[in-house]
Chains A and B, each alone.
Chain A
Amino acid sequence: MTDQDLYSGSSDTSEGRVFTVTGQDWDQIADGLAEEEGQERIVVNMGPQHPSTHGVLRLILELDGETVTEARAGIGYLHTGIEKNMEYRTWTQGVTFCTRMDYLSPFFNEATYVLGVERLLDIEDRIPEKASVMRVLLMEINRISSHLVAIATGGMELGALTVMTIGFRERELCLDLFELITGLRMNHAFFRPGGVAQDLPPGALDEIRGFVALMKKRLPEYAAFCNANPIFKGRLEGIGHLDLEGCLALGITGPVLRSTGYPWDLRKTQPYCGYETYDFDVQTWDTSDSYGRFRVRLNEMWESLRIIEQAADRLADLDGAPVMIDDKKIGWPSQLAIGSDGMGNSLDHIRHIMGESMEALIHHFKLVTEGFRVPAGQAYVPVESPRGELGAHVVSDGGTRPFRAHFRDPSFTNLQATSVMAEGGMVADVIVAIASIDPVMGGVDR
């Protein structure tokens, strides 16, 4: 405790005494609180920069002793105006923005936006099969990497540091696959209206199969570490309880909803990208608590591996098939290639437009400078992201740019459950409850 508050002036509070906690000062705070007669109630401002708040989340906790009597979440610290920015770029460029929202599940952001644009364009039936299979493949690898971060950071916040280190170790494998396939570890902008940006690189299927084989060895480690670990169970069981009615009232979806035993998964109930043709099960748990959410995530990674295997088998049969719609007025004209100076437009394509086909040059020029027009209307095509229902409300006025793109991010909605899950519990359990929601602030604030 310091006498001088370096961060805010004394005028910031109208009542009560302000302590600024800087570490190794608990005795002074306890003495200071004891001086205030009958002041059992303290308000703790936790965050926005705090290692266990899952990003720049600010929690305002009212404590009675160690019991939380009120919990409020303050958000907006990561607001970047992505939705506004998208209104100033073409429909294709929009992917580059929305992939950065929920930075742990970039492919899902891209998918819901791209599916909405495709519905407005009325080309949903004309997306090449290989593009859909590649989307499913990337989304499922992404689901694994996102769940790994959820489990890893959740473990770290409990003090289970090994769970954190092995979680990030496996996530690295996922990011390596992303880098191989899309060229980037995050912020891929790989899904495009009409298909995906690139075909699979040579050798990708072998890498994917190797990844699946390795994950089948590594995933049991999490179960061995955590599933029956008495400390882990002691910290998670019964914490952050939220039943089915509470979930529906608060709009909660994803693993939190499935931990109540209700098998609602958009991949099964309202399939997109051909999920109805894959063989997998919806994972549920019946405890409605943080432990159940952990188990749901762990089991979903196994299901994702099943889907990845099926997608890899299909891709093996689709060698050389197109990955972009066969409509020269929508499909991005160029395929990228690796040259001596890095990745860029393929030389074959440059030769084609500059030397062979005037029409190809016109299409390339029109699509790259102006973009394509999307008929006026609005669409909402949600996908099941690792955190729940993620949907883009896409509005067009018939122009070459989105008139409005609003993202219904599951982190934003699910974070509303903070108060319900935390109030009445201990202050240490607030961290566990929030970790079980797994909010990603990039998605919350957008």
Chain B
Amino acid sequence: MSEDSSDVKPEPKGPEQPATEQSPENVPAPAGEVHQVGERHGMFGVRGTGDTSGYGGLQQAIVLPGDAQRPYGGWFDEVADGLAAATRDAGLEIAAPRVVIHRGEITFHLRREDLLPVAQVLRDDERLRFELLVGVSGVNYPDDAGRELHAVYHLLSMTHNRRIRLEVTAPDGDPHVPSVVAVYPTADWHERETFDMFGIVFDGHPALTRILMPDDWPGHPQRKDYPLGGIPVEYKGGTIPPPDQRRSYN
């Protein structure tokens, strides 16, 4: 268009729409399911009395960042293509992972049964070469029905200087996730910690025992239904309730 603009008819002038590059919020919402992981009530998240804002009946869905659309940009496409090609070359039956890109970080959401073969491919394939498992972290979404427990793996490729994140989920009723210790021995303590704190059972772990809490400890402290605990503190005649019972906002 720019080489020969004389032939081009002037476009009818519509409402001013900045290009999507200039204002990313003009990009249409990505397709795919919008998955709600919780609900926020009221204006300030205050429980009991106290929300005098008039918005006490407000309900807002808590939605995590949605699926990304191709092209992902940068090396994200190389990793996604490399993963698809490498799993195909290895003859694996892997469901295409859900990809979320948020704040410049890429997350692959896998089926839990795919985790171990994908980890093997990610470590060994020369297009991927994620040599280092940085850690395993658990997250408990009590309102994310059927996917209450998430195990999050951060991987680092020193060869290509890239970081990705893998995420698998398990329901509360069947808290099993395959262990990746066979591929990444460093996962040993990390998986023990996640088991200790969330009760996620890593199948195939060589010795899945508690690591931070005492062996006979009841419950898994980092779950959302596990109380923080604490006692009221008295100071100069006043009493301050424990942190989880204070008036607070969220």
Interface pair A378/B221, CB less than 8 Å apart:
no
**Residues in A whose Cβ lies below 8 Å from that of B193:** 412
Specify which chain A residues have a CB less than 8 angstroms from the CB of B211 in the assembled complex: 75-76
Q: A391 to chain B: which residues have CB within 8 Å? A: 134-135, 154
What separation, in Å, do the CA atoms of A249 and B45 have in the docked complex? Answer: 44
The smallest C-beta distance from A264 to any residue of chain B, in angstroms, reads 6
Q: B65 in the interface, Cβ–Cβ < 8 Å?
A: yes
C-alpha gap A389/B133 in the complex (Å): 12
| B202–chain A nearest beta-carbon distance, Å | 15
Complex contact B134–A408 (CB within 8 A): yes
Find out whether the CB atom of B161 lies under 8 angstroms from the CB atom of A376.
Answer: no
A251/B186 in contact, CB under 8 A: yes
- Which residues on the A side are within 8 Å of B107 (C-beta)? 378
The chain B residue sitting closest to A246, CB to CB, is: B185
Q: Quick one: given A399-B45, A399-B250, are A377 and B103 in contact (CB under 8 Å)?
A: yes
| Shortest CB distance B207–A (Å) | 10
**Of listed A81, A376, A406, A408, residue having the most chain B CB within 10 A:** A406
Give the total of A residues in contact with B, Cβ under 8 Å: 50
Bound complex: CA A87 to CA B152 (Å): 18
Determine if A81 and B102 form an interchain contact, defined as CB atoms under 8 angstroms apart.
Answer: no
Contacts of B222 in A (CB 8 A): 83-84, 404
- The answer to whether B221 touches A84 (Cβ under 8 A) is yes
- Per-residue interface assignment for chain B, residues 134 to 162, with 1 indicating a CB less than 8 Å from any chain A CB and 0 otherwise: 11011110000000000010101010010
CB-based contact A251/B133 at 8 Å: yes
Of chain B, the residue at the smallest CB distance from A381 is B105
Among B135, B210, B228, the residue within 8 A (CB) of A408 is: B135
Determine the residue in chain B with the shortest Cβ distance to A119: B103
CA distance A403 to B224 in the complex (A): 9
Known: A251-B134, A393-B152, A400-B250. A445 touches B212 (CB 8 A): yes
Contact of A81 with B221 at beta-carbon distance under 8 Å, contacts A250-B185, A393-B154, A404-B139 already known: yes
Is B204 an interface residue when CB atoms closer than 8 A count as contact?
no
**Interface status of B88 (Cβ within 8 A of chain A):** no
Tally B residues with Cβ within 8 Å of A: 50
Does residue B165 face the partner (Cβ distance < 8 Å to A)?
A: yes
Q: Is A122 an interface residue (CB 8 A)?
A: yes
Q: Does A338 contact B (CB under 8 A)?
A: no
Interface centre among A382, A395, A413, A416 (most CB of B within 10 A): A413
Closest residue of B by beta carbon distance from A251: B186
Interface pair A380/B154, CB less than 8 Å apart:
yes
A415–B193 alpha-carbon span in the complex (Å): 14
Asked if B64 CB lies within 8 Å of chain A CBs, one says yes
Hey, what's the 0/1 contact readout for A374-386 against B, CB within 8 Å counting as 1?
0011111010000
Q: Closest CB of chain A to B230's CB: distance in Å? A: 9
Asked if residues B102 and A393 are in contact (CB atoms below 8 Å), the reply is: no
Residues from chain A with a CB closer than 8 A to the CB of B235 are none
Q: Tell me whether A89 and B243 are in contact (CB under 8 A).
A: yes
Q: Which A residues are CB-close (under 8 A) to B243?
A: 85, 88-89
Measured in the bound complex, the distance between the Cα atoms of B147 and A365 in whole Å is 37
Chain B residues with Cβ below 8 Å from A378 are: 64, 102, 105, 107, 139, 152, 165
Q: Give chain B nearest CB distance to A434 CB in angstroms.
A: 15
Q: Taking the complex as formed, is B240 at the interface, i.e. its CB lies under 8 A from any CB of chain A?
A: no
Contact A380 B62 (CB under 8 A): no
Q: Are B135 and A413 in touch, CB under 8 angstroms?
A: yes
Whether the pair B64, A389 counts as a contact (CB closer than 8 A) is no
Contacts of B139 in A (CB 8 A): 378, 395, 403-404
A residues 344-401 near B (Cβ < 8 Å) are 369-371, 376-380, 382, 389, 391, 393, 395, 397-401
Query: How many angstroms from the CA of A335 to the CA of B57 in the assembled complex?
Result: 37
Residues of chain B with a CB closer than 8 A to A415's CB: 189
Is the CB–CB distance between A249 and B103 below 8 Å? Answer: no
B249/A122 in contact, CB under 8 A? no
Complex: chain B residue closest to A269, CB-CB: B161
- Give A109-145 as 1s and 0s: 1 = Cβ < 8 Å from B's Cβ atoms: 0000000000110100000000000000000000000
Q: How far is A253 from B154 in the complex, measured between Cα atoms in Å?
A: 14
Residue B67 lies at the interface, judged by CB distance under 8 Å to chain A: no
Q: Are B250 and A85 in contact (CB under 8 A)?
A: no
A248, CB-defined interface residue at 8 Å: yes
Nearest-CB distance from B241 to chain A (Å)?
Answer: 12
Q: CA separation between A270 and B222, bound complex, in Å?
A: 30
Q: Which of B44, B103, B190 contacts A370 (CB 8 A)?
A: B44
Question: Contact at A248–B132, with CB atoms within 8 Å?
Answer: yes
Interchain CB contact under 8 A, A88 and B244:
yes
- Chain A residue with the shortest CB-CB distance to B185: A249
Docked CA distance A87–B44 (Å)? 16
B131 in contact (CB, < 8 A): yes
Quote the shortest CB–CB distance from B99 to chain A (angstroms).
Answer: 14
CA distance A251 to B210 in the complex (A): 20
A380 proximity list for chain B (CB < 8 A): 105, 134, 154, 163, 165
Q: Could you tell me the distance between the alpha carbons of A79 and B211 in the complex, rounded to whole angstroms?
A: 10
A361 CB to nearest B CB, Å: 18
Q: Which residue of B lies closest to A80 (CB)?
A: B212
- Residue with the greatest number of chain B CB neighbours at <10 A, chosen from A79, A83, A122, A379: A79
Q: How far is the CB of B177 from chain A (nearest CB, A)?
A: 16
The interface residues of chain B lying within 8 Å CB-to-CB of A248 are: 131-132, 158
Distance in Å from the Cβ of B170 to the closest Cβ of chain A?
16
Complex: how many Å from CA A249 to CA B44? 46
Identify 6 residue pairs between A and B in the complex whose beta-carbon atoms are under 8 Å apart, listed by A's number. Answer: A84-B222, A85-B243, A248-B131, A270-B161, A376-B62, A397-B64
8 nearest CB pairs, A to B: A251-B186, A408-B135, A406-B137, A76-B212, A370-B249, A399-B250, A79-B212, A88-B243
Q: A79-B213, A251-B132, A378-B139 are in contact. List 10 more A-B contacts (CB 8 A).
A: A83-B222, A84-B228, A250-B186, A376-B63, A377-B65, A380-B105, A389-B134, A393-B135, A397-B37, A413-B190
